[in-house]
Amino acid sequence: MDLEKCFQSLESGLLKDAVDRLLREYPSAENGLSLTECQILDALSLGVTAPRELFEACRETESVPFLNNWEFWAILQRMTSGESPLIETVTGDPFLCPPRGLAWKAFEKQSLALTPFGERVLKAEEHCALDGFQERWIGGVQLAANRLWFWCYQTNSLTREPKVPTVLGEILKGQLVLEGRLK
């Protein structure tokens, strides 16, 4: 993959750091979370529940600003939707993502929490990218359920192979091979 080759060829410096950070937005091989998604789940597990406070908590973990708030809200929207949401509103209502009617008061009143699935993914007991993956673009690459790339933190490289708990991994790997999702 060209982006990974670019990363591997760069000497240390700001450009290498920027490409490295972008690559960490790919689902991790370990649990299927991007770095931003992992930061969000970590902050929620520590008791940060308001969307704006989550944004600030995640921003504080970055040495250089990475996302603006609108991009962050879109990630929260994705994490609260789909077949297996990672987070939910405490009230059970759908997440209200701005700029829908610019309902800022309603947006600010929301409180978010981990779902049981989100807790298991955060603990790397489940792999969220293999369960209802929501299509997205990262660095000019379209990721979809049948075209997944994972960032491997052990090797600092992209891979097509997820790393999931052994028993679950063998079951899922067999399913993905049968479905043609892994080759």
* 111-121 residue pLDDT tens: 999 999 999 99
CA–CA gap between residue 115 and residue 51 (Å, rounded): 16
Identify the CA nearest to 24 among candidates 129, 115, 149: 149
The sign of the torsion formed by the CA atoms of 68, 69, 71, 72 equals: positive
Rounded to two decimals, what is the model's pTM? 0.82
Question: Alpha helices, DSSP H only, in the chain?
Answer: 2-9, 14-23, 35-45, 51-60, 69-79, 104-109, 116-122, 166-179
DSSP string across 31-48: TS--HHHHHHHHHHHTT-
| CATH code of the domain made up of 33-126 | 1.10.10
pLDDT given for residue 1 in this prediction: 57
Q: What percent of the chain has pLDDT over 90?
A: 41
Q: Which residue, among 33, 1, 32, 7, has the nearest Cα to 21 in the 3D structure?
A: 7
Per-domain boundaries in the chain: 1-25+133-183, 33-126
User: What tokens does 53 get?
Assistant: 């406070």
What is the model's pLDDT at position 3?
A: 67
d(CA 158, CA 22): 12
Spans of the chain, pLDDT less than 70: 1, 3-4, 6, 8, 99-102, 164-183
